[in-house]
Amino acid sequence: MDKITARLGQTDDLPRERLGRLGVRSLSDAELLALVLGHGTRRRSSREIAAELLIQTGGVHGLGRASVGRMAMVTGVGEAQASRVIAAIELGRRTLTLALRARQPLHSREAIAEFLLPRYGAHAVERFGVLLLDARHRFIRAHIVSEGAMDAAVAVPRDVFREATIAGAAAVVLFHNHPSGDPTPSREDIVLTRRLIAAGEIVGIEVIDHMVLADTSYCSMRHAAPGLKTDGAPGL
């Protein structure tokens, strides 16, 4: 082993040593990411690569929205390492998610957001989904209807209400994420919501709300957009 490789191995071991001595909370974002990456290159330590990866993706929250291809553009990050990072982020996300039992009631937008944000808030592409609820607004299941590009996901009313009909749902909560990190509804979001509310009235399935999700924040369109109020559950 030459001096460069030996020095590289020592440098990459430092975050792991700190973790053993001081605990995981003592590590910086770059050091935690370096442990996930696993190793560096002959010229750069894993911590240096991790630091650049965080800069290029916009920090920890941006990392959660980055794709394998985006990460692999950083020198020293291959597809295998990028895949490990995405897997680690998803594993962390799953540890934070609220496990809803079937038929558990969702009686407030806060409870709905607590369920949705960890699962669907921070993603690289826009995804549109629906929470299916029974007549007492109890949870049946969640379903992703469509997945789009960076700025648009197509939601066809027939696809939304087909899933609701199959599940025997009496009400739905629509949701989609904004990869930009800003949950402010767009004009297109408002138009789509009105269209889906009208479609729900035709088929007899109530649209309680449409939640726009960001990384850690959300917007309830029922409260934010004029003309979208419905007779939803108390507290919504």
Last residue of a domain, one of 39, 66, 95: 95
Q: For residue 229, is it within any domain?
A: no
Last residue of a domain, one of 37, 61, 95: 95
Last residue of a domain, one of 69, 95, 121: 95
Tell me the C-alpha to C-alpha distance, in Å, between residue 168 and each of 16, 66, 132, 135, 177: 51, 36, 9, 9, 25
Q: What is the pTM of this model?
A: 0.65
Q: For residue 50, is it within any domain?
A: yes
Question: Under a CB-based contact definition with an 8 Å cutoff, are residues 236 and 228 in contact?
Answer: no
- Each residue's pLDDT, cut to its tens digit, for the chain (236 residues) gives 344 333 434 455 687 887 888 887 888 888 989 989 988 888 888 889 999 999 998 888 788 778 888 898 999 998 999 899 988 887 877 766 555 555 677 888 898 998 899 889 888 889 999 999 999 999 999 999 998 865 556 678 888 899 999 999 999 999 999 988 899 999 889 989 999 999 999 999 999 999 999 988 999 998 876 556 544 433 34
Residue 82 is part of which domain span?
3-95
Residues 26 and 124 in one domain: no
Q: For residue 79, is it within any domain?
A: yes
Q: For residue 211, is it within any domain?
A: yes
Q: For residue 231, is it within any domain?
A: no
CATH of residue 51's domain is 1.10.150
Among residues 120, 199, 209, 116, the alpha carbon closest in space to that of 161 is found at: 199
Residues 110 and 145 in one domain: yes
CA geometry: angle 40, 42, 44, nearest 5 deg = 50
- Number of structural domains found in the chain: 2
Q: For residue 210, is it within any domain?
A: yes
Residues 125 and 53 in one domain: no
Residues 104 and 209 in one domain: yes
